């Protein structure tokens, strides 16, 4: 554990503590027949995170948490691997696997250094996983290494705009003011917990993804569905109806 980068060690401790708060969501997401995404449950038909035909393909979820996204991919016929930094999150994932008789490898590790050879996967995905909590200079390089040429990487994270507008104060939602500089945005720590997040401007994402060998296919800005609710305090429905609070990047390995 001492060999882990400092942000990975801190995020491991924090996510082992938070894991119990994610059990109920795991149970309902594993039970879902059709995927929904992000904090508002945006339907797959609106965002097409899994538009690739992954039947019979090799897929990896980077920061799989309780692995419901991996389960959705396995049910679509993919040969799935999930990797997560938190043993407690993976304990929930393994319990869900037993309950649903769905077996696929779940690795306890850092998505910045995945123990698989180059070109092992056709598809990689992260929903608020490595794409938020791992260092992009490392996990994007690693995703590019793991994917075969033509393979797709899809990830969903907080929007750039939301990160600019969220106050530091405990539990307060995004405002309609810019609260922090855009230039230099990268590693982000909030005063309310010990985790480390990574947020990039759109220009920085595009630059990094292209340097790592990806072509950008789409940047999808998510809108809450009509009946949306969320348990997360960092944004209101009123805000999210006016501005994107979540964004999905779809990129393809050259």
Ligand X SMILES: C[S@@+](CC[C@H](N)C(=O)[O-])C[C@H]1O[C@@H](n2cnc3c(N)ncnc32)[C@H](O)[C@@H]1O
CB 214 within 8 A of CB 253: yes
Question: By Cβ distance, which residue is nearest to ligand X?
Answer: 65
CA 225 to chain centre: 20
3-state class (DSSP) for residue 124: strand
129 C-beta neighbours (distance < 10 Å), count: 25
Q: How far apart are CA 17 and CA 195, in angstroms?
A: 11
CB of 231 to ligand X, least distance (A): 12
Q: How far apart are CA 245 and CA 240, in angstroms?
A: 6
- In the bound state with ligand X, the residue whose beta carbon lies nearer, of 182 and 190, is 190
Q: How far apart are CA 202 and CA 4, in angstroms?
A: 28
CB 122 within 8 A of CB 148: yes
- In the bound state with ligand X, the residue whose beta carbon lies nearer, of 18 and 243, is 18
In the numeric block, the tokens 């993976």 are attached to 90
From the number of C-beta atoms within 10 Å of its C-beta (0-12, 13-18, 19+), residue 24 rates as exposed
CB of 183 to ligand X, least distance (A): 25
- In the bound state with ligand X, the residue whose beta carbon lies nearer, of 90 and 174, is 90
Give whole-number Cα distances, 172 to 165, 166, 168, 211, 236, in Å: 11, 8, 8, 36, 10
- In the bound state with ligand X, the residue whose beta carbon lies nearer, of 90 and 164, is 90
- The DSSP letter of residue 62 is E
CB of 3 to ligand X, least distance (A): 13
CB of 203 to ligand X, least distance (A): 24
Task: Using CB under 6 A, list all residues that contact ligand X.
Answer: 8, 11, 15, 22, 63, 65, 69, 83-86, 89, 110-112, 127-130, 133-134
In what helix (H) or strand (E) does residue 246 lie, and over which residues does it extend? strand 246-253
CB of 177 to ligand X, least distance (A): 27
- In the bound state with ligand X, the residue whose beta carbon lies nearer, of 65 and 151, is 65
3-state class (DSSP) for residue 192: coil
- In the bound state with ligand X, the residue whose beta carbon lies nearer, of 129 and 151, is 129
CB of 90 to ligand X, least distance (A): 8
CB of 65 to ligand X, least distance (A): 3
- In the bound state with ligand X, the residue whose beta carbon lies nearer, of 8 and 47, is 8
């Amino acid at each position: 554990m001492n060999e882990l980068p400092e942000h990975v060690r801190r995020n491991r401790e924090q996510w082992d503590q938070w894991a119990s708060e994610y059990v109920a969501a795991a149970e309902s997401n594993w039970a879902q027949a059709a995927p929904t995404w992000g904090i508002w449950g945006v339907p797959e038909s609106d965002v097409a995170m899994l538009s690739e035909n992954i039947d019979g393909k090799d897929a990896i979820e980077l920061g799989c948490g309780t692995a419901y996204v991996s389960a959705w991919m396995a049910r679509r016929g993919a040969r799935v691997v999930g990797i997560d930094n938190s043993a407690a999150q993976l304990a929930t994932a393994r319990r869900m696997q037993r309950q649903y008789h769905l077996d696929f490898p779940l690795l306890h590790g850092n998505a910045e250094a995945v123990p698989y050879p180059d070109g092992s996967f056709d598809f990689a995905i992260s929903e608020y996983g490595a794409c938020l909590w791992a260092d992009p200079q490392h996990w994007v390089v690693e995703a590019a290494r793991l994917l075969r040429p033509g393979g797709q990487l899809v990830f969903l994270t907080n929007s750039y705009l939301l990160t600019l507008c969220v106050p530091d104060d405990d539990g307060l939602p995004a405002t309609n003011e810019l609260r922090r500089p855009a230039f230099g945005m990268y590693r982000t720590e909030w005063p309310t917990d010990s985790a480390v997040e990574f947020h990039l401007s759109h220009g920085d994402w595009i630059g990094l993804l292209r340097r790592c060998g990806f072509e950008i296919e789409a940047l999808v800005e998510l809108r809450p569905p009509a009946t949306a609710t969320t348990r997360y305090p960092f944004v209101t429905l009123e805000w999210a109806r006016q501005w994107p609070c979540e964004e999905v990047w779809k990129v393809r390995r050259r």
